[in-house]
Chains A and B, each alone.
Chain A
Amino acid sequence: MALLEITGLSKAFGGLRAINGLDIYVDEGEVVSVIGPNGAGKTTFFNLVTGMETPDEGSIVFDGQELVGLRPNQILQLGMARTFQNVRLFPAMTVLENVMVGQHARTRAGLLGAIFKTPSQRREEREIEERSKEVLSFFGTRLAGYRHDQLSMVLSYANRRRLEIARAMATSPRLLLLDEPTAGMNPRETIELTELIGRLRSERAYTIVLIEHDMQVVRNVSDRVVVLDHGVKLTEGSYDEISTNENVIEAYLGRPAEMGA
């Protein structure tokens, strides 16, 4: 049984069918890249899976549990967290707080606990902080030390992307959905992030689905590549398989020369 099992998923905006009868599965421990030209429905696919939009048809089963109809917070609770294409942090909160928010669903203290400073609340608060720092330490010196108390809005672009991944990691997910994690990064940062994705799997054992445009990243990290176009699955397979698939080249890659880069 696959970890994530999507069958017959469809979503239309007005007349536009963004996703049309999509079947996708993701196995435990896999890194799956979703690629496709702009407007292929990749981000909509993420929005549907995480419950931020409701599908018109189809079912999404995660670890044996139907997700359609659940609110995003309930879906996260089940062990799935995402990042956003256009980096959506909580800008007026500090780096550490952003990550601490990620643990909201994994903790239980209530308002009264905070007001009366009960021992269990204080212990939990300490644990949240420690765990957040531990998650941030995954990024080396990038988000360490004095940066904990900086507002996330003052971070550089690449650091914001890292922080978003950290926030998703803090939710203790089994499945991470990364929406164009290297978009807007320079080549050096892209290489660093590619390594990071590898470490996410090897050190933290996350299953990962990522949307990516950078073919080098796709080749380096993915076990399997799914190609979307106009809301339907064009093909899937290993990177080498899809890179030679004529349909894919026609729909998306256009110039095979780019592939070899």
Chain B
Amino acid sequence: MTEAATVDARPARRATRITPVSIFLWALRIAALAIILYGSYLSISSGRLTASQWRDLFVFGISTGSVYALIALGYTMVYGVLRFINFAHGEVFMVGAMMAFYVANALAATTLWTSSPVISLLIVLVAAMATSTSVAVIVERIAYRPLRGAPRLIPLITSIGASFTIQYLVRGLVGPSTKAFPRVESLRGTTEIFGLVILKSQVVVIAAALVMMTGLYLFVEKTRTGKSMRAVAEDPETAALMGIDVDRTIVKVFAVGGAMAGVAGALWGLVFPSLNFFSGFLPGIKAFTAAVLGGIGNIVGAMLGGVSLGIFESVGPSLVLAGYEIPAFSQLKDVVAYAALVLVLIFRPTGILGERLAEERT
């Protein structure tokens, strides 16, 4: 039977059978694209919003997006090392925002708030960072560390529990009422940068987020600790063999993620001056979307993903939904965010930059 080897070599091909599922997914993809494009066409051609209004939406999107990006860093870094979705990270952010609110409120009663806003904002920032960092580390210690090596869904369920626990603890501690961040007088009004008229608070948010993200990037890429984090993300067992204390590195990852969430919490107060115990949930989900959009496990990706999601969310409703003349389309703002989440996870689970660690690890 040796002649079998000479049987006609079929032309090399890459056959993929068409299944109902793939047809469904393609239909979904095309429908989503068509809805977005046609809606955009309708609303742009209607000329409902002026160019400067579009620009405002865009800038607003960038500023909320940078907050998402800061939160997304925590998701993406934790996912990078532990391969699980830290559902409670939104609550870490919320706790930071709460602390920012109370410190700001206390400072607003003093003269420091008006005389030197920069120092007071820094105090607020540090307080929020410290709080979020501690909460993140405590949650890791109590709820996640004992579960190393457990099946993937177990830490996810635990983190849902942690999320509920933090939410309702905060609710019990400070009450369910909605809090309003005090106004920062010197940040009212607008300023002009590169010929663009921008709200001052948005400038502060974007600038602060940029500084933090650059700092984090340098920290992860250049420092010893950052290197050990990357090593653990790549392969924890080998990292441990190389003398890296994996547990301590993981704690540091949670701490850094928590600190970024704390910054996000403090900045959140400048953009959206209302806050309650449930405020962490939605930004958390959106930041997770941003992390996936940018390619989970990828720090630069989280930044890109956050900003793109912010823009999409801010411009999207006016661009797409308004085009179809949907009444009260602002009600559907969160649908846009969730739709983005669902579409990203279905069609681009590796994100814009692709998952840095494609290999599945159990």
Contact = CB atoms under 8 A, between A and B. Distances in A.
Asked whether the complex places CB atoms of A and B closer than 8 A, the reply is: yes
A2 B15 CA distance: 22
A71 B14 CA distance: 14
Nearest to A55: B14
B17 interface: yes
Contacts of A61: 10
A25 interface: yes
Most buried by B among A7, A54, A61, A70: A7
Contacts of A70: 17
A25 B4 contact: yes
A209 B14 CA distance: 25
Contacts of A2: 1, 4
Interface in B6-26: 7, 9-10, 12-17
Contact residues on B (Cβ < 8 Å of other chain), bracket: 10 to 19
A166 to B, nearest CB: 25
Contacts of B242: none
Given A7-B7, A23-B5, A66 B15 contact: yes
A39 interface: no
A8 interface: yes
A59 B1 CA distance: 19
Contact of B10 (A7, A10, A25, A56): A7
A203 B10 CA distance: 35
Nearest to A56: B14
A61 B10 CA distance: 10
A5 B4 contact: yes
B16 A69 contact: yes
B200 to A, nearest CB: 48
B12 A8 contact: yes
A3 to B, nearest CB: 10
B12 A58 contact: yes
A41 B264 CA distance: 48
B9 A27 contact: no
Secondary structure type dominating chain B contacts: loop
B17 to A, nearest CB: 5
Contacts of A7: 7, 9-10
A57 interface: yes
Nearest to A4: B4
Given A5-B7, A69-B17, A57 B1 contact: no
Interface string B6-48: 0101101111110000000000000000000000000000000
A68 interface: yes
A27 B1 CA distance: 8
B253 to A, nearest CB: 27
A59 B13 contact: yes
A61 B9 CA distance: 11
A39 to B, nearest CB: 16
A27 B13 CA distance: 24
Given A23-B9, A58-B12, A69-B15, 8 more contacts: A2-B1, A25-B4, A25-B5, A55-B14, A56-B14, A57-B12, A61-B10, A68-B14
Interface of B: 1, 4-5, 7, 9-10, 12-17
Interface of A: 1-2, 5, 7-8, 10, 23, 25, 27, 54-59, 61, 66, 68-71
Closest 10 CB pairs of A and B: A69-B15, A57-B12, A25-B4, A59-B10, A7-B9, A2-B4, A69-B17, A68-B15, A27-B1, A8-B9
